[in-house]
A and B are shown apart, each in its own frame.
Chain A
Amino acid sequence: MRFLRTAWLVTRKDLLIEARSKEILLTTLFFAVSCVLVFAFGFVREGRAVTDAAAGILWIAIAFSGTLALGRAFERERQSETLRALMMAPVARPALYVGKLVSVLILLALVEAVVLPLVALMFQAPLFDHLPYVLGLLTTGTIGFAAVGTLFAAMLVRARSRDVLLPILLYPITIPVIIAGVRGTAALLQPEIDLPMARAWLAMLAFFDIVFVTLALWTFEPVMTE
């Protein structure tokens, strides 16, 4: 109970700051939309997107804007050494990780709520025909991406050249998430919908989430203590 309460307090603090400034939400959102547009110029021929492009664009936009949001969320903690203050608080360290993770997830969910309809609209992608599957892939994929990203962004707070190191570390580790997300979504967008394939990718993403959230909870304390 105490664990969950601590995590909730951290999440609430982040959401309150964000609700007042809206800085991360608005910048990340606009960045995601620009990503979709930039990719559209690369992958649209004669008014239609090339095969599987919609799935790829959706996930790349999420991965890119996710990195941006993660970086900004922890830059804010660094500026006035508030992360150190949090680490000094007499509470369970993994609870701090969970709190930060949930606030990043809520932020990314808001971004996805805009990007998903945008991609569906601009690339004539039938993303809403199998909404439960698409939402399942987005949820598990985003959790996997953010679980690794939150830990890495937190530990890079004290590192030099953290801005460039975050994507360098995050992308190779989350390649399975990107492959699963893109292929799973593409399986749902094909003319002949491949539900067993989408289910297989969904299962892999769920398994990825379990493994990496557990690992992050375990490594957070030894990696963060000075």
Chain B
Amino acid sequence: MFQKRLFLPVAVLVAVMFADAPFMILAAPYESTMGLVQKIFYFHAPIGMVMFLSTFVCGISSIIYLVTRRRSADHVAIAAGELAAVLGVIVLVTGPLWARKAWGVWWSWEPRLTSSLVLWLIFVAYLLLRRYGGPGSDRLGAGVAIFGMANVPFVYWSVNVWRTLHPKTTVVPTLPPLMRGPFWFSVVAFLLLYILIVLIRAGLERRRDDLEALYLAAEDGVDHA
């Protein structure tokens, strides 16, 4: 229902928002110590947030799939799992780009970056299982996704404690009000884009399923004729 009525308006809105975002980010004040480099935050942080959300979407739809065996839940799970991996790549590329300028090193085992890497590994493993696991890998994947989701608090806690054992002064910028506007604007834009892509990807998976069912039905028909 959402796909038919609201898809196009939301798609147009997202397009407008992404066209407008650069101007808003340009108009936002420069951060005093980092200058231009700080602007990557409007891109990096929202994607990080959406990636985090995606891991939970994948985990929760996997629970629904295991309990109800509803195929549509599995379609959403694989869409969210793929997006978590793709968004993870963007986060893990933009993070070091910023770190190089701000801290002088590409990779500093900063807690948040490290836990993003672990989360990303989990979802790449999920995709590898779904791709190479053979028949029945949808249910196995659901099990892995649930474990991956349950693992999130443990990963965050352990990585944070591990890193604070070796304290390191880092510049943690707190957002001044004039930067907050464009930042949340970017978050909403990426969130809407995320929802659209999940719907398209889940739709593709549903059609694949339908096609498979049709093939099976056709083969049955031939057998009985």
Contact = CB atoms under 8 A, between A and B. Distances in A.
A165 B133 contact: yes
A129 interface: no
B129 A176 contact: no
A115 to B, nearest CB: 23
Contact of A219 (B133, B134, B137, B143): B143
Contact of B154 (A168, A176, A183, A226): A176
Nearest to B151: A173
Interface stretch (A10-18, A27-35, A92-100, A207-215): A207-215
Contacts, number: 93
Contacts of B135: 158
Given A175-B155, A219-B66, A169 B129 contact: yes
B91 to A, nearest CB: 16
B112 to A, nearest CB: 15
Nearest to A161: B132
B122 interface: yes
Interface residues of B, number: 33
A108 interface: no
A176 B134 contact: no
A47 interface: no
Interface in B98-150: 118, 121-122, 125-126, 128-129, 132-137, 139-140, 142-144, 146-148, 150
Contact of A215 (B118, B121, B125, B150): B150
B73 to A, nearest CB: 12
B67 interface: yes
Q: How large is the interface on A (under 10, 10 to 19, 20 to 34, 35 or more residues)?
A: 20 to 34
Nearest to A207: B154
B155 A156 contact: no
B157 A183 contact: no
B140 A156 contact: yes
A37 interface: no
Interface residue SS majority, chain A:
helix
Contacts of A215: 146-147, 150
Contacts of B155: 175-176
A18 B146 CA distance: 32
Nearest to A156: B140
B158 interface: yes
Given A176-B154, A179-B162, A169 B134 contact: no
Contacts of B121: 171-172, 175
Interface string A174-186: 0110011001000
B6 interface: no
Contacts of A159: 129, 133-134, 136-137, 140
Contacts of B172: none
B159 interface: yes
Interface of B: 66-67, 118, 121-122, 125-126, 128-129, 132-137, 139-140, 142-144, 146-148, 150-151, 154-155, 157-159, 161-162, 165
17 contacts: A148-B147, A159-B136, A171-B121, A172-B122, A173-B144, A175-B155, A175-B158, A176-B154, A176-B157, A179-B158, A179-B159, A200-B161, A212-B150, A222-B139, A223-B139, A223-B142, A226-B136
Closest 5 CB pairs of A and B: A160-B134, A176-B154, A172-B121, A179-B158, A176-B158
Interface of A: 148, 151-152, 155-156, 158-161, 165, 168-169, 171-173, 175-176, 179-180, 183, 197, 200-201, 204, 208, 211-212, 215, 219, 222-223, 226
Given A175-B118, A215-B150, 17 more contacts: A152-B144, A158-B135, A158-B136, A159-B140, A161-B133, A161-B134, A165-B132, A169-B126, A169-B129, A171-B121, A173-B125, A173-B151, A176-B158, A183-B165, A219-B143, A223-B143, A226-B136
